[in-house]
Amino acid sequence: MYMRNALSKTAVVVIIAVVIIAVIAAIGVALTSRAPPVTTTVTITQTQVRTEVVTASPTTTPPPKPKIKVAMILPGTIQDTGWNTMAYLGLAEIGRKYGVETSYSERIGVADADRVAREYIGSGFKFVIFHGGEYLDIAKKLAPEYPDVSFSVVTSDVVPDVPPNLWQLVTKYYKAYYVIGYLAGLVTKTKVVGFVGAQDFPVYRGALNAFYLGAKDANPDVKVLYAFTGSWDDPVVNKEAAEAMIAQGADFITVCVDLGFYGVDEAAKKAPKHVWVVSMDMDKYSVDPDHVITSVIINTGTGYDYMVSKILEGQKGGHYVLDLGKGISIAPIRVDIPSDIKDKVTSLVNDIIAGKVKVKEITDKIIVPKG
């Protein structure tokens, strides 16, 4: 996630235990020995005896693909049930799928990231993933120093003129949040909906603006409230933001936070009237089936898998755009709402992916009226 920070030191943090067992299978590659030439003797009897010797070509085994060691540097905990958990699961899947050694370091701030990356490189790791936009300058600095190592960093747009061994995971959330806004406009009864984000950066401004446009397209009379709390993981500050929106009549709130989601969900549970909540990164319907209407699933592992496959083919750098239908999806709507609303949302998702519906990406300013 672009510029995601580690856990707040002053906040009261609710840690949701997530037991994640990463099975990394070490797959040995057995080299098949060349088969010796096969000699076949065929005797043909005519007016004289002639012997033909046919020699078959030796069997060859294609050389195995080179293996690499993959390291991931995370800004938060792998137990956040969000941005960092999804990345960790993606890393585990890469280890299983490609039979490569993987390792990770969590809660690494910008000040320590350079040192941690160099330690991984010194241990023979050939792909170092910085799972956050806050590490961009560090990645750009290290890449020229280690041309035989590939690096990855999160960006909101393709950054030009980067070293050739630097990958970019380009995150585009706005299309998914347009869909969530459209859903909000369809289901709200109070005609007031809310957006709780952590940081006011371009990629999240784009998500907020698209949410607003989607809600207005579904219901021109809807009012959109928003707040950037400054914290991804503090449940208290995010709960307070949600409570303020609920007090103004909001009955639908979507988030751009990690552990802070649980504060928003708690506010919805205690609200005097029913409030729908949308989570981010992972499907959290099972956490609160009475209030979680859907989730914006952000599978960063899709992009990292692509990068590893290309590195194994010899490509050192490039970019992968994470977008709706390409690593980003909308979780199934399992709650009891009219079926025609579910159908409209499904059709909208399909039309956006197919290019039939165009969504504006506005990141330079917030277009939502304040108040």
**C-alpha span between 359 and 326 (Å, rounded):** 16
The one-letter code for the residue type at 160 is: P
Number of neighbouring beta carbons within 10 Å of residue 176: 28
What is the pLDDT confidence band of residue 67, given thresholds at 50, 70 and 90?
confident
Q: What residues have CB less than 8 Å from 266, skipping those under 6 apart? A: 235, 239
Pairing between β-strand 69-73 and β-strand 192-197 as defined by DSSP bridges: unpaired
Q: What is the mean pLDDT of residues 133-139?
A: 98
pLDDT per position as a tens digit, 117-126: 999 999 999 9
pLDDT per position as a tens digit, 162-214: 999 999 999 999 999 999 999 999 999 999 999 999 999 999 999 999 999 99
Domain ranges of the chain: 174-296+329-354
Q: What average pLDDT does the chain have? A: 88
- What pLDDT shows up at residue 61? 61
Fold of 174-296+329-354: Rossmann fold (3.40.50)
Q: What residues have CB less than 8 Å from 281, skipping those under 6 apart? A: 81, 82, 83, 85, 86, 258, 295, 296, 297, 298
pLDDT per position as a tens digit, 49-59: 333 444 444 45
